[in-house]
């Protein structure tokens, strides 16, 4: 089973990266493809293999939810404060151009994208990278490998989306941050055995990033 999970994660990340960086369909089409790859394919695996981790990863634990809410709020303020701290050091002007030309995000549809990324996209990624590629995979292989594999694929997957947005230095820093964030998310899920805790933190992180995006659209566009 472990080889099926590893192959599914790698292949789906490659396909989604090609969609993001090469094919670049309209945002709605890209989102539909992501739903298929990050939910339908793993669920098919669960049905075929009769693995019950799909059920257990959706059992909430209130202490984990409260903890994640507090951490999420802190992360939101760290992200937004970091933008204001570094905006005079790094050039962020290419972000809005890349979002419009490469992804099709603009001022008119930004609020739709804002809501989708914060709630739906964060769930898709948590289910796929933390639920499927970590909580389920760790049933079959060494836990240390699961930490590295889940976090590394999560970080590298995002390169296709951000490599044209900012300078290579910022891309490298973003990938490092995503890898460390993935490790932290995996640890939280490992502790609480569900994806709700990391999903809440992920939502707040996306909220912070999208708040910065909104600021950029309103000040640069």
Q: Tell me the pLDDT tens digit for each residue of 5-49.
A: 999 999 999 999 999 888 888 878 989 999 999 999 999 999 999
Contact 145/153 with Cβ under 8 angstroms?
no
Residue-wise DSSP of 58-78: T---HHHHHHHHHHHHHHHHH
| pTM assigned to the model | 0.84
Rounded CA-CA distance 9/16 in Å is 10
Sign of the torsion formed by the C-alpha atoms of 39, 45, 47 and 51: negative
C-alpha distance across the termini of the chain, in Å: 49
For residues 113-138, give the mean pLDDT: 92
Rounded CA-CA distance 133/145 in Å is 10
Contact 196/64 with Cβ under 8 angstroms?
yes
Rounded CA-CA distance 61/56 in Å is 11
Rounded CA-CA distance 143/101 in Å is 40
**67 has a pLDDT exceeding 70:** yes
Over its C-alpha atoms, the chain yields an Rg (Å, rounded) of: 17
Task: Write down the mean pLDDT value for the chain.
Answer: 85
Structure tokens at 182: 């993935």
Cβ neighbors of 100 (< 8 A, separation 6 or more) are 106
Percent of the chain past pLDDT 90, that is, above it, reads 51
Structure tokens at 184: 């932290």
Rounded CA-CA distance 67/129 in Å is 21
For residues 127-156, give the mean pLDDT: 96
Q: How confident is the model at residue 107 (pLDDT cuts 50, 70, 90)?
A: low
Rounded CA-CA distance 132/142 in Å is 15
Provide the Cα torsion 64, 70, 73, 75; round to 10°.
Answer: -80
What is the reported pLDDT for 220?
47
**3 has a pLDDT exceeding 50:** yes
């Amino acid at each position: 089973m472990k080889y099926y999970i590893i192959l599914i994660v790698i292949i789906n990340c490659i396909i989604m990266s090609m969609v993001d960086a090469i094919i670049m369909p309209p945002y709605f089409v890209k989102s539909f493809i992501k739903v298929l790859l990050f939910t339908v394919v793993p669920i098919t695996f669960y049905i075929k293999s009769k693995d019950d981790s799909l059920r257990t990863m959706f059992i909430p634990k209130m202490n984990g939810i409260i903890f994640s809410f507090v951490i999420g709020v802190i992360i939101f303020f760290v992200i937004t404060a970091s933008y204001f701290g570094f905006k005079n050091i790094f050039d962020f002007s290419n972000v809005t151009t890349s979002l419009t030309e490469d992804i099709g995000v603009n001022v008119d549809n930004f609020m739709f994208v804002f809501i989708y990324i914060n709630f739906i996209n964060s769930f898709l990624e948590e289910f796929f990278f933390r639920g499927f590629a970590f909580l389920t995979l760790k049933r079959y292989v060494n836990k240390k490998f699961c930490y590295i594999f889940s976090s590394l694929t999560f970080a590298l997957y995002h390169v296709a989306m951000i490599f044209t947005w900012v300078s290579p230095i910022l891309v490298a820093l973003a990938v490092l941050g995503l890898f460390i964030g993935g490790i932290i998310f995996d640890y939280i899920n490992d502790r609480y055995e569900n994806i709700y805790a990391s999903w809440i933190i992920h939502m707040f992180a996306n909220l912070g990033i999208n708040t910065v995006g909104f600021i950029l659209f309103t000040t640069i566009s």
